[in-house]
């Protein structure tokens, strides 16, 4: 309900979607690293898969030798040999 | 980089986390602001790094998540000190180094001037010498206020000066006056105008004084052009007195210049052989250490004459040759051109130390004598002409015509040039004004 109102308001006011609270922001730098903002929690951490829960979806990063150089409550950097970044669910 | 230094300075641990719910443990850590870094998953375990302070706080979180933690590595300064606590020599060396650094930090080892254009560094350093301020003196002995005051009073063109000691460096920032500091006083004393050069007068404008020549006259150097004395006459046309004024006029004349430049027939052609010899000189107080690296193949080709020369080379390597005054044995048909570069050891931006090193790069050249080509002679003549005309133009001389001749004689070439020019030829000459008799 609130998401729908927020989305419509942002659309009407031409506000970028990035500033809507809770939406995850994902930046992929080639195959080497992925930078994620606004994630909620870590669900799974394996060397071939990292699953993160965001407010609106689940982020799945697949690859080889995945590691997390740093992470905080809101942001995380994943590096390694990345093969896929998927968004699951709603 | 600062973060890395901080981590190493405070010390950190490498942990292996296994069992229970590792992801929950990681979420609990981030929720409590205790973020581990450099996480790597392998075989159902996770390895991560963590600072010492967060490590003391995560035990309850580990119990809550049911994970086991094992320390697999200890890194950073606290652990380094702990590991090396029994190495007295290293500790003494470290302390001695720190003490030496502290001792050096009490002195000034570099003096820098900024913003000086009119006054050279040597001039300013000379003045600092008179104030007993030099490299190697104690920082506490420098009064920046006195130094600023002294510079301002000694050098009138310096309008603003700021001296400060930063690290082991004395920085003197200067702002110089960019306009004339004083307006020259107008000279009203009587004077006459004479010819500074011989020539033919082409135009003249007399503002004050009595013209003694006219346009078209040929004048010689030193000849009077405009006289200072003006006759004051009465109604009957008799001269009652002479008034001496400051003559003022523009007198232009056509003048002739000539110059002569000798150019040798033969020249020395220098060709680099491609051999480069390097030398490093380390200077720390009275200590000097020199390392000379001979050019590639220099020893192998016997350029140094056998064992004696090898000894010379060895002496050169150790710096003994300068003490024993052993001359270097070199080929006579080649010579070396040296380029020196001096550096001062600087730990940080302003922390200079009295340690210098000089890098000398010598390039070997060979030479032969050859005669100049006519093209080179012509180009030398053009250069000589250009230089001469440039000098004349700087003096405000207007060039009307110029001719250059190249004459060949036994020893070489003679470049002769004649220039026809127009220029102002007045030169002020003071006159002794006799006492003016009272008006009758």
Strand partners, B277: B362
Q: Per the CB < 8 Å rule, is A70 touching B37?
A: yes
Whether the CB-CB separation of B415 and B388 falls below 8 Å is answered with no
Structure tokens, B339:
């380029």
Q: Round the average pLDDT of chain A to a whole number and report it.
A: 86
CA–CA gap between residue B383 and residue B415 (Å, rounded)? 11
Angle between helices B121-130 and B144-154 (to 10 degrees): 120
Q: Residue B23's pLDDT is what?
A: 92
CATH 3.10.20.310 maps onto chain B at 110-176
Considering the entire predicted model, what is its pTM?
0.48
Whether the CB-CB separation of B226 and B212 falls below 8 Å is answered with yes
Tell me the per-residue pLDDT of B135-153, one tens digit each, with 9 for 90 and over: 889 999 889 999 999 999 9
For chain A positions 4-63, those within 8 Å of chain B (CB to CB) are 41-47
Structure tokens, B304:
């140094």
Q: Say yes or no to pLDDT of B388 above 70.
A: yes
Structure tokens, B294:
């001979």
Contacts of B34 in chain A (CB under 8 A): none
- Would you give the DSSP letter of residue B295? P
Strand partners, B13: B50, B74
Domains of chain A: 23-88 (2.60.40.2000)
CATH 3.30.70.260 maps onto chain B at 2-82
Structure tokens, B353:
């130390």
**A46, A67, A73 ranked by CB distance to B31: nearest:** A73
CA–CA gap between residue A22 and residue A20 (Å, rounded)? 6
CA–CA gap between residue B258 and residue B419 (Å, rounded)? 6
Alpha helices in B59-108 (DSSP H): 59-65, 77-83, 88-104
Q: Which of A46, A54, A73, A59 is nearest to B29 (CA)?
A: A73
Tell me the per-residue pLDDT of B84-123, one tens digit each, with 9 for 90 and over: 888 888 889 989 999 999 999 999 999 999 998 888 899 9
Please state whether beta strands B158-166 and B334-346 pair in parallel, antiparallel, or not at all (unpaired): unpaired
Kindly report the nearest CA distance between residue B16 and chain A, in angstroms. 14
Q: What angle do CA B246, B248, B253 make, to 5 degrees?
A: 140
Q: Is B123 helix (H, G, I), strand (E, B) or coil?
A: helix
Where does the pLDDT of residue B440 fall: very low under 50, low under 70, confident under 90, or very high at 90 and above? very low
CATH number of the domain located at residue range(s) B2-82 in this protein: 3.30.70.260
Where does the pLDDT of residue B415 fall: very low under 50, low under 70, confident under 90, or very high at 90 and above? confident
Kindly report the nearest CA distance between residue A47 and chain B, in angstroms. 5
Q: Per the CB < 8 Å rule, is A47 touching B42?
A: yes
Where does the pLDDT of residue B438 fall: very low under 50, low under 70, confident under 90, or very high at 90 and above? very low
Tell me the per-residue pLDDT of B37-90, one tens digit each, with 9 for 90 and over: 999 998 889 999 999 988 989 999 999 999 999 999 999 989 988 888 888 888
CATH number of the domain located at residue range(s) B110-176 in this protein: 3.10.20.310
ipTM above threshold 0.90: no
CA–CA gap between residue B147 and residue B155 (Å, rounded)? 12
Q: Residue B287's pLDDT is what?
A: 84
Tally A–B CB contacts below 8 A.
41
Average of per-residue pLDDT across B364-392:
88
| Stretch among A35-44, B3-12, B175-184, B313-322 having the lowest mean pLDDT | B313-322
Kindly report the nearest CA distance between residue B83 and chain A, in angstroms. 28
Please count the residues of chain A.
90
Please state whether beta strands B12-18 and B426-430 pair in parallel, antiparallel, or not at all (unpaired): unpaired
Q: Say yes or no to pLDDT of A58 above 60.
A: yes
CA–CA gap between residue B51 and residue B349 (Å, rounded)? 31
Whether the CB-CB separation of B225 and B372 falls below 8 Å is answered with no
Please count the residues of chain B.
440
Q: Is B250 helix (H, G, I), strand (E, B) or coil?
A: strand
Average of per-residue pLDDT across B163-168:
90
Provide the 10 A C-beta neighbour count for residue B334: 15
Whether A81 and chain B come into contact, CB under 8 Å, resolves to no
% pLDDT > 90, chain B = 35
């Amino acid at each position: 309900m609130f998401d729908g109102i927020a989305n419509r308001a942002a659309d009407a006011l031409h506000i970028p979607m990035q500033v809507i609270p809770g939406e995850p922001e994902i930046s992929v730098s080639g195959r080497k690293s992925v930078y994620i903002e606004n994630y909620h929690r870590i669900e799974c951490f394996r060397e071939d898969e990292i699953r993160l829960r965001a407010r609106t979806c689940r982020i799945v990063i697949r690859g080889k030798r995945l590691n997390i150089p740093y992470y905080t409550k809101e942001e995380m950097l994943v590096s390694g040999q990345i093969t896929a970044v998927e968004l699951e669910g709603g | 980089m600062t973060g890395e230094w901080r981590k190493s300075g405070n010390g950190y641990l490498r942990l292996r986390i296994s069992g229970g719910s590792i992801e929950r443990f990681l979420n609990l850590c981030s929720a409590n602001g205790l973020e581990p870094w450099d996480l790597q998953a392998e075989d159902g375990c996770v390895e991560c790094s963590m600072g010492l302070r967060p490590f003391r706080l995560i035990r309850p979180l580990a119990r809550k998540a049911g994970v086991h933690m094992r320390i697999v590595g200890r890194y950073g300064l606290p652990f380094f000190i702990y590991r090396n606590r029994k190495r007295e020599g290293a500790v003494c060396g470290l302390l001695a180094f720190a003490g030496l650094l502290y001792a050096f930090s009490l002195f000034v080892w570099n003096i820098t001037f900024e913003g000086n254009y009119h006054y050279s560094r040597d001039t300013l350093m000379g003045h600092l010498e008179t104030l007993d301020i030099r490299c190697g003196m104690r920082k506490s002995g420098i009064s920046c206020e006195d130094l600023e005051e002294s510079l301002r009073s000694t050098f009138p063109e310096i309008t603003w000066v700021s001296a400060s000691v930063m690290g082991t460096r004395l920085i003197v920032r200067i702002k110089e006056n960019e306009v004339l500091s004083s307006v020259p006083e107008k000279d009203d004393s009587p004077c006459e105008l004479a010819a500074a050069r011989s020539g033919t007068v082409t135009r003249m404008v007399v503002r004050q004084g009595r013209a003694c020549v006219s346009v078209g006259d040929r004048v010689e150097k030193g000849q009077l052009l405009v006289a200072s004395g003006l006759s004051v006459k009465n109604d009957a046309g008799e001269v009652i007195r002479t008034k001496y004024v400051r003559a003022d006029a523009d007198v232009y004349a056509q003048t002739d210049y000539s110059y002569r430049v000798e150019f040798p027939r033969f020249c020395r052609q220098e060709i680099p052989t491609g051999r480069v010899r390097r030398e490093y000189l380390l200077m720390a107080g009275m200590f000097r250490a020199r390392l000379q690296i001979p050019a590639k193949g220099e020893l192998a080709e016997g350029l140094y004459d056998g064992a004696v020369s090898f000894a010379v080379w060895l002496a050169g390597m150790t710096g003994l040759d300068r003490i024993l005054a052993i001359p270097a044995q070199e080929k006579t048909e080649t010579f070396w051109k040296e380029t020196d570069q001096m550096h001062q050891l600087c730990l940080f931006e302003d922390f200079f130390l009295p340690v210098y090193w000089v890098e000398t790069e010598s390039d070997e050249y060979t030479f032969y004598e050859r005669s100049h080509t006519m093209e080179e002679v012509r180009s030398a003549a053009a250069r000589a002409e250009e230089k001469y005309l440039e000098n004349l133009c700087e003096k405000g001389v207007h060039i009307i015509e110029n001719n250059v001749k190249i004459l060949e004689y036994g020893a070489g070439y003679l470049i002769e040039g004649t220039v026809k020019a127009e220029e102002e030829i007045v030169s002020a000459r003071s006159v002794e004004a006799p006492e003016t008799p009272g008006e009758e």
